[in-house]
Amino acid sequence: MALILDALIEILRKPTIGDIVSELTLFAAPLWIAVFVGLVVGWAWKPRWATGMVGEEKGCSDDDHQMKPRANSYGCGLQLALPSLDSLRAQIPSYLTCLMPEQIREKGEKVVDDLSPPHLVKKELVVNFDDLQNLSALVETTDGGPVWIRMMEKSTPTMSYQAWRRDPETSPPQYRTRSVFEDATPELVRDFFWDDEFRIKNKWDDMLLYQSQLEECLVTGTMTVHWVRKFPFFCSDREYTIGRRIWEVDGAYYCVTKGVPFPSLPRQNKPRRVDLYYSSWCIRSVESRRGDGQKTACEVLLFHYEDMGIPWELAKLGVRQGMWGCVKKVESGLRSYQAARKSGEPLSRYAEIAQINTKISSGRLRSLGSINDTSEDIVDAEKEKEKEKEKEKEKPWGSNLPKFLIVGGAVALACTLDRGLLTKAVIFGVARRFAKIGRSL
């Protein structure tokens, strides 16, 4: 710096203005050459955000509006006169990107408005607004489906549980459960159900053998994940490609997960891929059963069904036998997750994505949807049985003849075959289904 100042002083000491100007020109020429070379090199090595400064991108390209693979998924940002945050994320190391704000944050979490402008998210995502409407209708029992029949009701000192089932005519049995966890926040429970890394590490879901993330969108929080689940010894393992997304509706979290096609992941003979899969939650705070009027408990309404490729009657038997044991493992896993978060354990990638929620009000959801106002009742299985008995008494004995023939044949077949309890359970289950048909003849 001192040498430059000395050179400038020597130039200014020249006797004439012409000499000073000529000397300054010669002095500044190398600097101007360096600036010009820098501009040429910088334009040749042009970062992606530079195109937004000159108006070359008016939004996401056709390639960009698809969800990116995990390795280079950065979502689409608003293209303004300045570099977008999402494009800047791509230019810096990944371990620093978590320090950058994402869109609009409330309470430390990212939320984005639903029905975003077309230039923000062009692609029809694998989980969309229709899925939110379907889940909302299930929560409000306005979906027009069959009546839910109560299966069980159990509790522990820190959790209560209820389960219902219904049997559509052309699809697998559907299950609705209500779990209330004491001293748990909706945000923690939301992250817990999304965190596949913790599922594997903690083994609270001991059926999950393998998980990986296939795609992600940092604008909407939509993910596609790959699962392989362990099935009983008489079945091969099952493979799933699952789409996920979370909406925040007036403080409640509507978490949709469903089977989605993923052509770039080829099918295999083993494990067998499950195409029809649906498992979604509504997570919200409720009053504690301690009766203190404080909303310190968390309610989880779960809706689940899948076509696993085994007889539905057999699947119903297995679900009923293992349901309560599975729920107790879920609570144990949640308490372990709660302790890990309190100890400062860093968030997994799945938990980070779980905090990217699409925010919408319940009023707007109702105005945009066409939800049937007719609510379906949830009834007890015992009441249904009593109604069936009353109908049987009203019918003449001859009308029950098809039922007796079918059930009697099943008993004879089950006693003839020495294939164990499982085979007999399947035979009786199928016979019972045909007996229902016989009663209507």
Measured CA distances, 397 to 394, 403, 412, 438, 439 (Å) = 9, 11, 22, 13, 11
Number of C-beta neighbours around residue 97 at 10 A: 17
The first and second tokens of residue 193, run together, are 């159900």
Residues forming beta bridges with residue 266, ordered by sequence position? none
Q: Euclidean distance between the first and final Cα of the chain, in Å?
A: 103
Give residue 67's pLDDT.
54
Task: Measure CA 387 to chain center.
Answer: 39
Contact in structure between 152 and 324 (CB atoms under 8 Å):
yes
The answer to whether the CB of 237 falls within 8 A of the CB of 265 is no
Per-residue pLDDT of the chain (441 residues; tens, 9 = 90+): 566 667 667 777 777 777 777 777 776 777 778 777 777 666 666 554 444 444 433 333 333 444 555 544 434 333 333 444 444 444 444 333 333 333 433 444 455 554 444 444 445 789 999 999 999 999 999 999 999 999 999 999 999 999 999 999 889 999 999 999 999 999 999 999 999 999 999 999 999 999 999 999 999 999 999 999 998 766 789 999 999 999 999 999 999 999 999 999 999 888 999 999 999 999 999 999 988 889 999 999 999 999 988 888 888 888 888 899 999 999 999 999 999 999 999 999 999 999 999 999 988 888 876 544 444 456 555 565 566 656 655 555 444 545 545 545 554 554 454 444 444 444 545 555 555 544 444
| Residue 14 contacts residue 8 (beta carbons within 8 Å) | no
Please give the Cα distance from 198 to 337 (Å, whole number).
Answer: 8
**pTM confidence score:** 0.64
Q: Please provide residue 142's backbone torsions phi and psi, each rounded to the nearest 5 degrees.
A: -120, 25
User: What domains can be seen in the chain, in order of their start residue?
Assistant: 129-364 (3.30.530.20)
So what's the pLDDT on residue 233?
A: 62
Written as six digits, the tokens of 398 are 């001859």
Taking a C-beta distance cutoff of 8 angstroms, is the pair 274, 308 a contact?
yes
Which tokens sit at 247? 């909406």
Burial class (CB in 10 A: 0-12, 13-18, 19+), 182: middle
Per-residue pLDDT, 170:
87
Partner residues linked to 299 by β-bridges: 180, 284
Alpha-carbon span 11 to 156, nearest angstrom: 89
* Backbone φ, ψ for residue 47 (5° rounding): -65, 160
CA distance 14 to 254: 78
Kindly give the interhelix angle for 186-194 and 312-342, rounded to the nearest 10 degrees: 120
**216 token code pair:** 């992600």
What is the pLDDT, as a whole number, of residue 369? 64
How much is the pLDDT for 43?
A: 62
CA distance 128 to 358: 10
- 3-class DSSP state for residue 79? coil
